[in-house]
Amino acid sequence: MENITNAITLVPLNHYILLSSIIFFIGIIGVLTRRNAIIVFMSIELMLNAVNLLLTAFSAYRGDAAGQVFVFFIMAVAAAEVAVGLAIIVMIYRNNNSIDIDLLNKLKN
Partner 1 sequence: MLLLEQLPVNYAPVAFQFFVAVGFVVVTMLATHLIGPKRKTSDKLTPFESGVEVQGNARHPMSVKYFLVAILFVLFDVEVIFMYPWAVNFRELGILGMLEMFTFMIFLLLGFIYIIKKGALNWE
Partner 2 sequence: MTITQSLFYFLAFVAIFSSLLVVTAKNPIHSVLYLILTFFTLTGEYILLNAQFIGIVNIIVYAGAIMVLFLFVIMLLNLNVESEPQKTNLMKFIGIITGGIGLVVLTAALKSTDPSNTVVIQEVDMGLVKNLGQVLFKEFLLPFEIVSILFLSAMVGAVLLARKETK
Residues forming beta bridges with residue 100, ordered by sequence position:
36
Q: How far is CA 46 from CA 20, 53, 108, in A?
A: 10, 11, 29
| Residues 37, 40, 41, 42, CA torsion sign | positive
| Binding residue (CB under 8 A) for partner 2 from 83, 104, 106, 108 | 83
Q: How far is CA 52 from CA 25, 35, 39, 48, 105, in A?
A: 14, 26, 20, 6, 33
Tell me whether residue 4 or residue 107 sits nearer to partner 1 (CB atom).
Answer: 4
Tell me whether residue 3 or residue 109 sits nearer to partner 2 (CB atom).
Answer: 3
- Minimum CB separation of residue 76 from partner 1 in Å reads 6
Site membership for partner 2, residue 51 (CB under 8 A) = no
- Minimum CB separation of residue 76 from partner 2 in Å reads 5
Tell me whether residue 13 or residue 106 sits nearer to partner 2 (CB atom).
Answer: 13
| Binding residue (CB under 8 A) for partner 2 from 32, 95, 105, 107 | 32
Site membership for partner 2, residue 96 (CB under 8 A) = no
* Burial class for 13, CB neighbours closer than 10 Å (0-12, 13-18, 19+): middle
Site membership for partner 2, residue 39 (CB under 8 A) = yes
